[in-house]
Amino acid sequence: MVTIGDIARAAGVSRSTASYALSGKRSISAEVRQRVADAARELGYTPNAGARALATAETMVLGLLAQFHEDEFAPAMLQYMLGVSDTARELGYDTLLVTETDGARALRRITSSRMVDGVVLLNVAQDDARLPLLRSAPQPGALVGLPGDCSGVDVFDLDFEAAGRLMVDHMHQLRHRELILVSQPEHVVERGGAYVWRLQNAVVQQARARGIELHAVFGESRQPEVGRTLHALLDAHPAATGLLLNNEAAAAALPSVLHARGLQTPRDLSVIGRYSDEFARTFSLPFTSIESAPDLLGEMAVRQLVRRIVTPQARDEPHVLRLLTPEFVDRGSTGVPCAPPSTS
């Protein structure tokens, strides 16, 4: 392993000068600093993280607490994680991914041991047991997801209420009068997944206000169960002309369901989903959607977190609550419903 001594010998300087040149702790001439930097690069030197933490109280590591729940669609969660890790890497930070079931215990361990400089929480629940610990931790924290109490942390999420209203209003403008809403599994709601009921409640209220008949159900998170649910819903509500999806697994299963039934969008059924453009490309989904922006939300959380870490005056600024305005992505899967065939 390359050491400071190796760097010093290659650059023709003392160990202390090499150390000061790399750490920036003392004023070193530009010429010497460049020689040391060149030597470090040529030798492939990587500073010891533990030594850096002792010297500067910084680890250059961000904690990312996330879980892969069986009742949620894993590819969708991965997009949020990539948004966090890609931005952290861009800003010079490594990411420590923690997926323990006991999130509060994991958070206490990584913050009390100073393993990280800051923490990003995913899978945020309405009454999240991790939040009291994060508020009292010495490191700042940022959330991707809206809890019931946002105090003491920076929060970033999609405006799910606005997304639900946008879905209904678009269908209403096209003169749809009966819709089906498929949400995430009910277990997600039971453990506090507020984004599910935030969108669902908004859809229910807006449909009622627009005089639209709505059938709201919870779907599964995997095949073949979610495919069977979609078939059953279309059988049970043959007069429904529109389908709203707040369930990525249902969106991924829908093309095969429509093909099996000989249905086309928007001729036979108008469809609006809630997922990211990257998700649509990955699963070749041709459906109009509300952009969930997982990469942007992860990026925003990390940039705000790093700002609090590196900028002294930012540490005492009021905390941020940012709800993204939903973006409507038209892929041509909605239209005016066809008139029923004449019986005369």
pLDDT tens-place string over residues 200-216: 999 999 999 999 999 99
Sign of torsion, CA 115 120 122 124?
A: positive
DSSP string, 46-89: ---HHHHHHHHS---EEEEE----TTS-HHHHHHHHHHHHHHHH
Instruction: Please give the Cα distance from 340 to 344 (Å, whole number).
Output: 12
Structure tokens at 25: 């702790």
Give me the domains of the chain, ranges plus CATH numbers.
Answer: 4-47 (1.10.260.40), 61-158+294-325 (3.40.50.2300), 160-292 (3.40.50.2300)
% of the chain at pLDDT higher than 90? 70
Give residues with Cβ within 8 angstroms of 71, minimum separation 6: 184, 185, 187, 188, 220, 221
**Does 6 have pLDDT greater than 90?**
no
pLDDT tens-place string over residues 47-68: 554 444 444 457 899 999 998 7
Instruction: Please give the Cα distance from 240 to 338 (Å, whole number).
Output: 11
Sign of torsion, CA 177 178 180 186?
A: positive
- pTM (2 d.p.): 0.81
The predicted structure's pLDDT at residue 55: 47
The larger pLDDT score, comparing residue 42 to residue 238, is at: 238
Structure tokens at 227: 């495919």
Q: How far are the Cα atoms of 63, 120, 211, 272, 279 from residue 87, in angstroms, in the given order?
A: 13, 12, 44, 30, 19
pLDDT tens-place string over residues 160-189: 999 999 999 999 999 999 999 999 999 888
